[in-house]
Amino acid sequence: MSDGEGQFYSVQVGDSTFTVLNRYQQLRAIGSGAQGIVCSALDTVLGIPVAVKKLCRPFQNQTHAKRAYRELVLLKCVNHKNIIRLINVFTPQKSLEEFQDLYLVMELMDASLCQVIHMDLDHERMSYLLYQILCGIRHLHSAGIIHRDLKPSNIVVKSDCTLKILDFGLARTACTNFMMTPYVVTRYYRAPEVILGMKYKENVDIWSVGCIMGEMVKCSVIFQGTDHIDQWNKVIEVLGTPSMEFMNRLMETVRNYVMNKPQYPGVNFAELFPDWAFPSDSEHDRLKTGQARDLLSKMLVIDPERRISVEEALNHPYIHVWYDPGEADAPPPQICDKQLEEREHSIQQWKGRKRYESCYLHSQQIEQSPHVCVMSKRKSNVQCLFYVFLHKY
C-alpha cells in the first residue's frame, strides 16, 4: 500500500517489510545475511533490473552504525568493473527524528559464486573468475581498503562470466598504528594471522581468494572448522606446523598454545589438489593444472610475510593471460576520510564531525536548518550523516 504522499509503498518480503520508492516494482527476495535482506526489483525509471538491499537495524548500536556507514561510503567511492555499482540510496522516513531504515540499490547480477563453485568449471572460466576477483581487490588495496569478508556469497556473477565483489560492511581502510578487529571474514575463509590475533595487512584477502580457489577445484570447503580453535587445527593439519620465524611473531600466550599443539608435516599440494580434481582433457589443461596448483600453493601460505601479494598473483601465469592494465591497474578510489578507522567512538561521540561533509555530500541547505541542528543533538551523528547524504544523493 502506498503512503500518504504516494512516493513510497510497502510490501512484505518474508519476515521483513520493504518500504520502497514507487519506481521499484516486482520485489522478490534473493538473499539475506547478517547485514541485510536483498530483493530483486524492476527499476521502472531506468527500465533495468536492480538489487535492493535493506540494511538490518543500521542504528541498533555503534558497531552496526559504523558498518552501515562504511559500506555506504565505500560503495560511493569505488569505481571498478569488478566492484558492485551503487545506483541509488534512499530512506522512506521524512525526518531525521524518524530515520531508521536504509536502502541501497545496486546493479543486479545472475547468481552468487556459491552456485558457480559447484559447476564443472574449466580452466578458462576458473582463471577468468579469479582474475576478476584479483582485479577488484587490487582496486581496493590501491586505496588501502581491505575487504576482510571475501567469500563465495559476497561475490556475484553474470551468465557471461563477468564477476563483481560486494558487501563492504566489514571492509575498512588500512592504517599502521592500530590493531584491527579479529572479527572479520567468515571462519572458513579466515587467514591464520586473523585467527591468532596478529596484526594483518592487505594480503589477508589473498588467503580468502586461495580458499575460494581451492573450493572451486574440490567443490567443497578446504578448511571447515567448527570454531576458531578448530579452524586453526584444520589449517595446520593440512598445511603443516608453521616455522619458528612465524611463531616468534605471535603473542606469548598464543605462541605457547600453538607450540604445544602436535607437530604436523603438512600435506603435499599434489596430494591435496590431485590432477583428477582439475579439468584434464588435453595437454593444455595439464599445463594449466600445474599452474593452478602452483598459484594455490602461493596463496595458501600460513605466514603472511611469505604469501603472494595481489600484484604477484595478477602476474602469475595462470592469471596473467587475462591481464589488462585498464582493469588490473585502474586508478584507485578516492577515500575522503583516511582516519575513519582510527576513531572508535560511541554513537553520540560522532556528533559534529564536519570533516566528513565532503565525503558524504552534505546538503548545505539541510545542514544549516535550525530544525535539523536541534534534532542532531538528540540523534547519533552517524544517523545524521546518513540522513543528509540520502537527501542529497
Which residues are designated catalytic? 149
**Residue 214 grid coordinates:** 581451492
Alpha carbon 41 to chain centroid distance? 23
Task: Give the amino acid at 268.
Answer: N
Can you tell me the distance from the alpha carbon of 204 to that of 207, in angstroms, rounded to the nearest whole number?
Answer: 6
Over the range 326-358, which residues count as b (16 or more CB within 10 Å of their CB) and which as e? ebbebebbebebeebbeeeeebeebeebeebbe
Half-sphere exposure of 243 (CA within 13 A, CB side): 8
CB 35 within 8 A of CB 28: no
At residue 57's C-alpha, the angle toward residues 56 and 59, to 5°, is 140
What CA–CA distance (Å, rounded) separates 62 from 60? Answer: 7
What is the longest distance spanned by two Cα atoms in the chain? 73
